[in-house]
Amino acid sequence: MVAMPTSRHSGLRNVLALVALAVTVALAGCSPAAASTGGKSAPTPQPTATSAPRTLYQADWTNRASEWTLPPHWSIVNGALQNDGQSSEVIALQIPYQVTAQNYSVNMQIRALAANGPGVNNMYGLIGQTPAGELLYTGEATEVQPSLHSYALIYPAQPDTSSVTFGTYDFTPGRSTRPYLWQVENPYVSFTAGGGFIGEVKSKAPLAPAHLVFLDQNVQLVIESLTITTP
């Protein structure tokens, strides 16, 4: 007499049968005869390319020098902006472009030639202002001294002890050109001086639209390029 299968064994056989059926269907779907691509493998998805920053403004002191209104101590020499470093007062140079993009970067290539006077009165850097002239942020090199570490700082419109970020970087007059980057990602603004990241601060006010002003005091330097971009 043949023993009848128990219900437990019957349930296991049913599960195994369903698994076998599922595998068979899956294999049939992947066979060349059943493929909807006519036997060809499906194309591999390509990664989405990251879009390059869009240039909003690029200075051209050879062909478009007339865009710039130069204050005392500034001149255009060999297609670059140059400050003679002889002013003990802060000299403001207006950049002839108003930024309206909410996020943007200001890139400059600067070669510092000499620092004059006491270090506490030497500085150069960039400020952002509202169209009405109210300060938005400051990112500058300050206390520039030839033989010591120089300070750089970044702060929003109304700084306090918790909102000013300081950093140091080496300053050697006459050294090769170095990059400087002011980057705005509303409501944050960051500053990179001479290739070294100084810091990032948060502003309480919108950082665009903005007028950009380059400041210099007692530092002889050359701005070889200036580009404003947006992501």
Q: Which residues contact 142 (CB under 8 A, 6 or more apart)?
A: 122, 123, 125, 150, 151, 152, 153
pLDDT digits 0-9 by tens, 183-218:
999 999 999 988 888 899 998 889 999 999 999 999
- Identify whether 16 is part of a domain: no
CATH of the domain at 202: 2.60.120.200
pLDDT digits 0-9 by tens, 14-57:
433 433 333 333 334 433 343 444 555 666 666 666 678 999 99
- Residue 79, both tokens: 């297609």
Q: Which residues contact 111 (CB under 8 A, 6 or more apart)?
A: 174, 175, 176, 177, 178, 221, 222, 224
- Identify whether 9 is part of a domain: no
Structure-model confidence comparison of residues 17 and 67, the more confident one:
67
- Identify whether 58 is part of a domain: yes
pTM: 0.74
- Identify whether 2 is part of a domain: no
DSSP 16-46: HHHHHHHHHHHHHHHSTTT-TTTTPPPPPPP
In the chain, the number of structural domains is: 1
Question: What was the pLDDT predicted at 47?
Answer: 65
What radius of gyration, in Å, describes the C-alpha atoms of the chain?
31
- Identify whether 3 is part of a domain: no
